Every structure is written in C-alpha cells, then in structure tokens.
Amino acid sequence: MELNAGSIAGKIWTALSGTEGLTNKQVKRLTKLIDKELFLGLGWLLREEKITIEEQGKEFFIKLI
C-alpha cells in the first residue's frame, strides 16, 4: 500500500505543479483518482510537508509549498 500511496501522491504533485493551487475537485478531475485515493495521496503529501490545504466552503484548496 505504501508504494501505491507514493505513486498517487506523485500524480497529485504533477497536477499541482506549475499552478497557484487547485481545488480538490480540480485535482480529482485532472488525476482521475477516486475520493479514497485522492485523500490517501493528500495525506502522504501533508505528512511530507509538500502541500498546504485550506478549506473553502465545501471544498479544499490545495497548494504546493
């Protein structure tokens, strides 16, 4: 599972790269991840201190650090 989480995190990182940040829905659409995978990858990136997440209403805004 750890290898898969790292791969998922890489997809999210790639989607965020070169942007000022994206919402969780935008990341999900670009990466074609399901909710479970998206949040697994976001958790990985948060633990590694690679992203910040801000709550915006019912969505999250995700940015690379």
d(CA 37, CA 57): 22
Q: Low-confidence residues of the chain, pLDDT below 70?
A: 1-3
Show the domain range for 37: 2-64
Q: For position 41, which CATH number holds?
A: 1.10.10.10
Q: Which amino acid is at 52?
A: T
The token duo for 1 is 């599972």
Number of domains in the chain: 1
Q: What is the pLDDT of residue 52?
A: 98
Write down the pLDDT at residue 31.
Answer: 97
Model confidence, pTM: 0.92
Specify whether the CB–CB gap between 46 and 14 falls below 8 A: no
The answer to whether the CB of 3 falls within 8 A of the CB of 11 is no
46 Cβ contact list (under 8 Å, min separation 6): 53
